[in-house]
Amino acid sequence: MQTELILSTYNSPRALWLTLLSVTRQTRLPDSICVADDGSGPETAEVIARFRAEHPQIPLRHLWHEDRGFQKNEILNKGVGSSTAEYMVFIDGDCLIHPGFIARHLELARPDRFLSGSLIRLDTPTTEAVTEDDVLSGRVFDRGWLARTGTLRRFTTRLKAGAWPKWLSSALEALYPVGRNWCGANGSAYRAAILKVNGLDETMKYGGGDKEFGIRLENSGVRGRHVRFTAPLVHLDHPRGYKDAEKIRIHRGQITHARRSGKIRAEAGIDGHPELAPRDLAHPGLAHPPGQGA
């Protein structure tokens, strides 16, 4: 089964580099990486060029569109629509993934299931102090290191960091009393299931789009399954200047509508980009900023 890691980013070159380094440590590498870039500048292209040069064994394509404000759902849809992979794993470009992350998602993958994990959130001082060696050595996932940074104050965060044996954590995932909502920073599904619901709703900006997408997957017969405690992911802190309370209020109405109506397909989704038919990953330069090469 061909697997692609779709990694969203926007003008966060340091975080993107650390995230890509965490991908290199996977016990099961993705067959390809798609950096879904919501309009970043040349620094991001430089990070990608460096990664390609240092890690040619991992095919990487850089999918970019012009910066028109927060259009994450659109660039993710373009990534799915243009992929040749059968299975899609989604993270954000400020998330460091545990060495067993991809393997765990694939272990539980089923056509009638989507997987949704969670985040171990670092504070700003800890984020700023994270080094390449912290990532490559796996230190960022060490419970002692996380405890010393003050990250493991909550019981659920300790569980997310692998405090219990895998068999017990897996059982708890199946029983834990929280909604099976899609988490765009730690989620996966078969590409066919995503296409069936026409991907994410591009009318939705920050706040609620993930949840609405998960509801439509559920409505289509694809049920959520947690990987909250067995697919660890460390989130690097960052400001959220794109947060808009009025848009979030509107999104709540869209979420309610999707749940009550049984809605399956997004009106503004993947099929709005017919020019992005799946390409051969041997030619990774799918789209680039003007003046920035592959």
Token readout for 99 is: 């060495």
Residue 277 domain flag: no
pTM over 0.85: yes
- Residue 87 structural domain: 3-272
- Residues 118-144: pLDDT tens digits? 999 999 999 999 999 999 999 999 999
- Residue 35 burial by Cβ neighbours in a 10 Å radius (0-12, 13-18, 19+): buried
Q: Total domain count for the chain?
A: 1
Note whether residue 231 is domain-resident: yes
Report if residue 285 sits inside a domain: no
In a domain, 280, yes or no: no
Q: What is the mean pLDDT of residues 24-39?
A: 98
- Checking DSSP bridges between strand 233-235 and strand 95-97, what pairing results, if any? antiparallel
Classify residue 282: in a domain, yes or no: no
Cα dist from 105 to 100, 117, 123, 128, 141, whole Å: 9, 9, 26, 29, 18
Q: What is the largest CA-CA distance in the chain?
A: 51
Whether 104 is in a domain gets the answer yes
Residue 284, domain member (yes or no): no
Is 287 inside any structural domain? no
Distance CA(144)–CA(270), nearest Å, equals 43
pLDDT digits (tens, 9 = 90+) for 132-183: 999 999 999 999 999 999 999 999 999 999 888 999 999 999 888 777 899 9
Q: In CATH, what number is assigned to the domain containing residue 125?
A: 3.90.550.10
